[in-house]
Amino acid sequence: MCGIVGYVGGDDALPVLLDGMRKLEYRGYDSAGVALVKDGRVELAKKAGHLSELEGELQHLTLDGSLGIGHTRWATHGAPNDINAHPHLDCGGRLAVVHNGIIENHDGIRDELVAAGHAFRSETDTEVAAHLIESILERDGCSLLEAVRRSISVLQGAFALVVISVDEPDRLIVARQESPVIIGVSEEVGLVASGIPALLPFTRDIVPLENGQIAQITPGGYEVFDLKGAAVEPPVVHVEWDMEAAEKGGYEDFMLKEIFEQPEVVQNTILGRVDPSGRIVLDDVHWSADTLGKINKIVVVACGTSYHAGMASKHAIEHWTRLPVELDLASEFRYRDPVLDEHSLVIGIAQSGETADTLAAVRFAKEMGSPVVAVTNVVGSSITRDADAVLFTHAGPEIGVAATKTFLAQLVALNLLSLYLAQERGSMEPEKIAETIVAMNRLPDQVEEVLSIQGEVHRAAKRYADAKDFIFMGRGVGYAVAMEGALKLKEISYIHAEGYAAGELKHGAIALIEEGVPVVALLTGRALYDKMLANVEEVRARGAQTIVLAHQGDERARLLANELFEIPETKPLLSPILDSVPLQLFAYFVAKERGLSPDKPRNLAKSVTVE
């Protein structure tokens, strides 16, 4: 998500930081900042907007020093403004912190620190780390390294932290829990960054920190410790990547990198949203249980892939809340004279938060007096200003035009929202909610498992890359996955593909089936399994080649499949989160086999800001 750079050495840190931040800016670009230590003071410059805004600001300042940290931000907690930009300072202004990730228990820590007299300046989760370390230093009188070590046993969630202090002006202290951070090995200087591109001008030897590790980096040296403070010696890795490969994390394309980031994205979207008692807490959705109790229908509006996330969510919302859900393409919504009032809760989904049709739909709903909740990936986007409440997906910036990780994050966020509504309205037993949360917490590992079948998916893509038409079919939530699978393939491979509700096929589209037509079938749904199996038989009988997604060990599916993608089992309403992944990979590999660039498909824009 965010970009982090730290430097300590003989030279001026600022040019090194800015160069590294430029190389990491693709990871986050809503604000940027630097902090340098000089003459017993932390000097700070922070600015909302692209890095160029900060660089403009720096021209009017004289900031120097040989110890510094820099950050390019992708906002998760708090709007993308100057104050929320990193680095963040403690009360005394003696230490500065940059952070990538989400500190899940920031609210509770903040309350305790405020009660103890700490004054906070920003709305970020990160600032708690600065004050917490300050309080430990004051209480224990220990070294900065030790204070950071003690602080991370209090912090929960995902974080890569880099901390500097005027009291120890020759070192960077780094800690990792889930979010990546890498030491650059050098004999002259001390270097750390959240991504390899920032380190390449200095070194190709790196030490990626593992979870729970803390490091102290000095000019020409570093020491790594575990959570108990024992020294460890992680291996040094030599990288051969050029700058472009490094930006893509070694993957050939951003789309592939983003598909492989999904376990972390799923985890980040869940993080901090279930409190220790098991209640779902959505910070920016703050209607009272009374208001939510008066809602009598839900209307979901979105475009493209976001619409498909909405299609899947209709099933979860109706099943868990027993409220009727209407689903609309945002481009159609306001022209059909929809029936809305203050009892209709409207959910507008847009990863970019800028899609013109979705914004217009949301504004229309507001005019009709309906409460609106936006589900978006971009803090500070237009939809966040138009909606009454916001649920952020925590996918980080998506560079590939085809939505992948933002789609998975939307599915997760919409499931959380559905459970939250069920919880607040009392329509689902707490034990059932708890069971579903347990299943959700297993999803990051299960997504990882699905990614491990990339070899099978690639082989299948090679076999069908020359096909003229594809049919995707599913039932229930599988229908939404089929629609999304077809859209991904169309977008980046330019092959004609259609998603169908499998039961509808015999009402027309089955006429398209002839010898060799590939049909992708979703067989992971339990409730309508036999019906889906019959649909697969029907298309096979007419000569279709079947690419089947089924649960691991499903022998009946194996008998009917020309290609079988085996998926781990989860709760049926969560299955789109797993089933979508091989279809993203399939579209990606087909596009590559056809010699196309998946990151920049023809005629498409990442954000469609015109009607």
Binding stretches for ligand M6R (CB under 6 A): 303-306, 350-352, 355, 358, 401-403, 491, 604, 607-608
Catalytic residue among 2, 46, 314, 490: 2
d(CA 398, CA 380): 16
Active site residue 303: no
Catalytic residue among 297, 366, 600, 606: 606
Active site residue 606: yes
Nearest-CA neighbor of 137 among 84, 191, 94, 105? 94
Tokens of 269: 């979207």
Q: Which is nearer to ligand M6R, 199 or 487 (CB)?
A: 487
Q: Which is nearer to ligand M6R, 29 or 320 (CB)?
A: 29
Dihedral of the alpha carbons of 316, 317, 318, 321, in degrees to the nearest 10? 120
Q: How far is the CB of 254 from ligand M6R (least distance, A)?
A: 13
Q: How far is the CB of 350 from ligand M6R (least distance, A)?
A: 3
CA atoms within 13 A on the CB side of 381: 30
Coil vs helix vs strand at 314: helix
Contact yes or no for 394/296 (Cβ under 8 A): no
Q: How far is the CB of 514 from ligand M6R (least distance, A)?
A: 29
Q: How far is the CB of 362 from ligand M6R (least distance, A)?
A: 11
Tokens of 606: 């990442």
Return the sign of the alpha-carbon dihedral for residues 237, 239, 244, 250: negative
Q: Which is nearer to ligand M6R, 294 or 602 (CB)?
A: 602
Coil vs helix vs strand at 280: strand
Nearest-CA neighbor of 70 among 177, 192, 188, 167? 192
Q: Which is nearer to ligand M6R, 316 or 402 (CB)?
A: 402
Q: How far is the CB of 360 from ligand M6R (least distance, A)?
A: 12
Long-range CB contact pairs, 331-336, < 8 A, 24+:
331/303, 331/357, 331/611, 333/301, 333/357, 333/361, 333/364, 334/360, 334/361, 334/364
Q: Which is nearer to ligand M6R, 164 or 402 (CB)?
A: 402
Residue nearest to ligand M6R (CB): 304
Q: How far is the CB of 407 from ligand M6R (least distance, A)?
A: 7
Q: Which is nearer to ligand M6R, 398 or 424 (CB)?
A: 398
d(CA 338, CA 299): 10
Contact yes or no for 122/22 (Cβ under 8 A): no
CA atoms within 13 A on the CB side of 111: 3
| Residues assigned a catalytic role | 2, 606
